[in-house]
Structure 1
């Protein structure tokens, strides 16, 4: 079973390898095999092998960037140099007999083992990519550092500190939009450090973030096909960040939505402000329902402030990008985990939010879903593992708290709303995180690509219907399916 899982992991991870990275690995593994198997190796052949290997590594470094996971591959490049050095000092001798054959077999075995490790390392920890967006638009993006002068920052000790939020907007761009694709994280260092501390794992495991690029082009011209585009706000979960659902955001934007991601400062993994300051995740009492109900108020206020800023941009954008292009009459919201709870609260409490999706978020917050439902379009997405999580928690007190919280789902589908339960899925699968390694995905027991496509298809169908008045394509197919169950109230 473990061998089968590892083999599948390596195969799927290979799909993430970058083209020059893959070419460099192939050339150097072939070079290693030739160095071991060839009985005679002329100086000219060695120099040619060295040149080809070095050129492949050089182009990979220039075009894609070098990373520590490829070090075993890079080291193969220097083997011809070592052999040439030895040959220049010692006269090569032809060796025959049983001893030389044993040494040859041993060398071949070690080379094979080394080759397996060299290839597996960049595959198990790949520079992951996002599926090409399916819609008719390219993607532009811009980031803002906004300060709410009306609110004091409660997570800092300095008197007079105001609430400061990093906000990223992704928007439809013309198909011919040109420019360099944006990094997944503009400054990946703090996130690698943050994940390392949170998960108690080596920081090196998370350095691949710095090489990951998206399909978005910074400051691209906004598409002119529509006079204005519906707006969707995205709220991450505790210790998440505004980019954590890029797999979903890019697909929605490509279909004609403007998506606004919010970093909830001090509750996100890290918020990197425009001047380089970093606001780190502050530990909070995430085991207390009372604390989380109250903490959600701060997130709701964050969203309300961002909505106000968007209204200002729609009226007058100093850069002229969004003036008149944000359709503030068609605003929806979606969020993961605590951000999903925030989306639900905003739907209940703010008339500007016309429809919302909660992705696996327990319904924390001051207001409860009333009997009869929300009276506004709502879709709850749940992982089947999450609905059973209380049964796996050894701490009985904590398990009972989770069970009590899950009862808040009782009326979510009332009044004609929807509840989508995805099979073989867990809480983290609703974000990009498992893309960091196919091995982690396999250990979690989920099929991430399939789950992400279900999330994307149903998110698009939901918002297309309730914000663009398009006919339903999927949400009208209520019932049990092989990969999910769809309920309607």
Structure 2
């Protein structure tokens, strides 16, 4: 089934993210968090670990400006690091749907939380379209920038480069990144659900309903975080290799594999599938590429024409499938809402093959 055409620039000439599909408006705020208990794993002379986190959430009818997508410097460094010859402002000026600082809606302890971990070399903004959609459906979403694995700009204007890119070819890189990311996520959960929360509206979060989804190496970070932090009840791996195998003792909490032909390309998926001992699904998206699960599919695929990265499926269709299946998974496991979509093939989404 053909997808909709990729989004075109808006009236001001900027690219625009597709609108969220849920019933709520969306707000967003950014948090600068400092973990003083450990040094930076990639720049150890920095004795603290600094993180930038975006919090998306359902909002009351918001008044205000839409949040910026990313800084111009982040965009320049990101595109240069990916070998993409597109001016940084093309990406940094992308029009989002969330209003910065909008008033949240919801009762105390009523909203489930989903943490998003981006792929290596990609900032937290690369999963904005998914985050906005989940927020519009009634979730709080925390997108984490894993500092020095992608360009990150801090409130004082500093932009930290991708220091880890220099050691990406090290055989232990995948394991190092996965462990560092799991520690990042646990720290973020501490700061959102602990006694002294970093977000003034954190009381809206239900700490008993926490999920995590990650793209690429962020997907392995989801399983490893679940194995090391029992607060995360359900997880999604979007097209990521398992750099740290799931142990033979298994992972008994719900997990979704959402990938692009991984049964052929990645031997770690069938290996670790056997050790997913709880509710599990393996969804393969025909025509998708590794980048199809990020914002860059609808934003850049049409400009770059890169089938190796984005596959042959349209960016709009890739995003629709990603949003739909990830939301269905969390609706089932964090809200207890039946999801027949996850039990059988769908006529609406014939590109998706399901394995149970």
TM-score by length of 1: 0.66
- How far has the Cα of 1:131 moved from its partner? 1.8
Tell me which protein shows more helix as a share of its residues.
1
Q: How does 1:86-125 map to 2 (within 5 A)?
A: none
| Contact 1:383–1:426, Cα closer than 8 Å, also in 2 | yes
Which stretch shifts more, 241-250 or 433-442? 433-442
Counterpart CA distance in 2 for 1:286 and 1:127 is 33
- How far has the Cα of 1:472 moved from its partner? 1.6
1:230 aligned residue (112, 132, 136): 112
2:17 aligned residue (122, 126, 130): 130
Counterpart CA distance in 2 for 1:178 and 1:188 is 25
- How far has the Cα of 1:465 moved from its partner? 1.1
Counterpart CA distance in 1 for 2:219 and 2:199 is 32
SS in 2 for 1:368: coil
| Contact 1:478–1:487, Cα closer than 8 Å, also in 2 | no
2:73 aligned residue (189, 201, 219): 189
Aligned to 1:143: 30
Distance of aligned partners of 1:210 and 1:442 in 2 relative to their CA distance in 1, 3 Å threshold: closer
Q: Which has the higher contact order (CA 8 A, sep 6+)?
A: 2
Q: Does 1:266 align with 2:129?
A: no
- How far has the Cα of 1:284 moved from its partner? 4.3
Distance of aligned partners of 1:200 and 1:477 in 2 relative to their CA distance in 1, 3 Å threshold: closer
Distance of aligned partners of 1:296 and 1:486 in 2 relative to their CA distance in 1, 3 Å threshold: same
- Gaps (5+ residues) in structure 1? 1-7, 20-63, 65-125, 390-401
- How far has the Cα of 1:243 moved from its partner? 1.1
2:257 aligned residue (371, 380, 397): 380
Q: Does 1:440 align with 2:304?
A: yes
Distance of aligned partners of 1:156 and 1:416 in 2 relative to their CA distance in 1, 3 Å threshold: closer
Counterpart CA distance in 2 for 1:412 and 1:172 is 35
Aligned to 1:173: 59
Aligned to 1:411: 274
Which stretch shifts more, 434-443 or 137-146? 434-443
Q: Please identify the structure whose Cα radius of gyration is greater.
A: 1
Aligned to 2:158: 277
Aligned to 2:222: 343
| Contact 1:429–1:448, Cα closer than 8 Å, also in 2 | yes
| Contact 2:5–2:314, Cα closer than 8 Å, also in 1 | no
| Contact 2:256–2:282, Cα closer than 8 Å, also in 1 | yes
| Contact 1:236–1:262, Cα closer than 8 Å, also in 2 | yes
- Gaps (5+ residues) in structure 2? none
- How far has the Cα of 1:226 moved from its partner? 6.9
| Contact 1:441–1:447, Cα closer than 8 Å, also in 2 | no
CA RMSD of aligned residues (A): 2.6
| Contact 1:413–1:419, Cα closer than 8 Å, also in 2 | no
- How far has the Cα of 1:441 moved from its partner? 4.6
| Contact 1:245–1:432, Cα closer than 8 Å, also in 2 | yes
